[in-house]
Structure 1
Amino acid sequence: MSSTPNGQSFLLDPQKTAGLTRFSHARVVKPSTYHTIYISGIAAVSPDGTYEGVTEDADGTFTIDVREQTASILRRIESIIHGASKGKANLYNIVDSVVYILDMKTQYADMNEEWNKVWSDRASAPSRATIGVKELPDPRFAVEIKATAIFEL
């Protein structure tokens, strides 16, 4: 197990899972020395109400760029963590996450590619569940992410 700001990464069999997606099976954290931040499900809508990763046509239809939405959500989550920790933490302090996605067949690979740009190895990646859902709160959302982060007192 290797240690990073979000605890120690644990893999059941690191040699057999080397080529798979970059996420830990578990993160081991000493809770008595850390604050915990529970981040609500975050989607790609900015505080001014614009939808990131969405192109709306004149007829009211729209297209969604899952990569752009995922990158936007991760930036927003980083801002939340940075603010809630008073600058002491960032995305690498996430210990657990859940990704909700509309279409696993057509959108998972794009979401995962953006995810892997942030966490380039398993040692720093949080544990993660990715769940295909029928719908999200707004039809312009293709991805929503919730997370839990920790940082030292």
Structure 2
Amino acid sequence: MSANGQSFLLDPEKPAGLTRYSHARVVAPSTHHTIYISGIAAVTPEGTYEGVKENADGSFTIDVREQTAAVLRRIDSIIKGASNGKADLHNIVDSTVYILDMKTQYADMNEEWNKIWSDRVSAPSRATIGVKELPDPRFAVEIKATAIYKVER
């Protein structure tokens, strides 16, 4: 069993295809702590926006891959901090990804996601939702997650 519980796949013999996520994660609740991570976007504590290029005319260009990687790094830091270093991204059991444009941004977000989770057996369950807007116009991606880690006895 991996750090985030046991994977459940409806069709474990079929190829993974383009995306890597489990259909469900099974966790024994009495043996783990749970961390619920709020929706995280690509803004640093100092207020800088990762994956955003400011243009001379005041507009900006968003790099979805860079934003996704930045969000995942922030979530990794949150999990490590909340667990006193006992957990990381691989302890995520469930996640929700919000993106602005499924047609133009999904593939780039998914490529960054797949750099972290190399197969469906280790990947968390995931929903990806296209939304009209996020809290700041410089955000293209926001991710909410739940992680678990083993209780030491």
TM range (shorter): over 0.9
Moved over 3 A (4+): none
Matched to 1:47, the amino acid is P
Cα deviation, residue 20, structure 1: 4.1
- Unpaired segments ≥5 residues, structure 1: none
Deviations 1:12-61 (CA, angstroms, capped at 9, x unpaired) = 01123532410000000000011000000000000110000000012110
Equivalent of 2:76 in 78, 81, 90 = 78
Give a deviation string over 1:63-103, Cα, whole Å, max 9, x none.
00000000000000000000000000000000000000000
RMSD across aligned positions (CA): 0.8
The CA distance in 2 between the partners of 1:88 and 1:47, in whole Å, is 23
Deviates more, 1:19-28 or 1:130-139: 19-28
Task: Provide the secondary structure at the position in 1 that maps to 2:114.
Answer: helix
**Among the aligned pairs, what percent are the same residue?**
83
Q: Count how many residue pairs are aligned between Structure 1 and Structure 2.
A: 151
**Residue type of the partner of 1:123?**
V
Structure 2 gap ranges (5+): none
**Paired residue secondary structure (1:80):** helix
Query: Structure 2: how far apart are the matches of 1:17 and 1:26?
Result: 17
Matches within 5 A, 1:33-44: 33-44=31-42
- Give the whole-Å Cα distance in 2 for the aligned partners of 1:12 and 1:38: 26
Letter in 2 for 1:127: S
Aligned partners of 2:125 and 2:40: how far apart in 1?
Answer: 17
TM-score by length of 2: 0.97
Match of 1:118 among 104, 116, 119: 116
Partner amino acid, structure 2, of 1:42: I
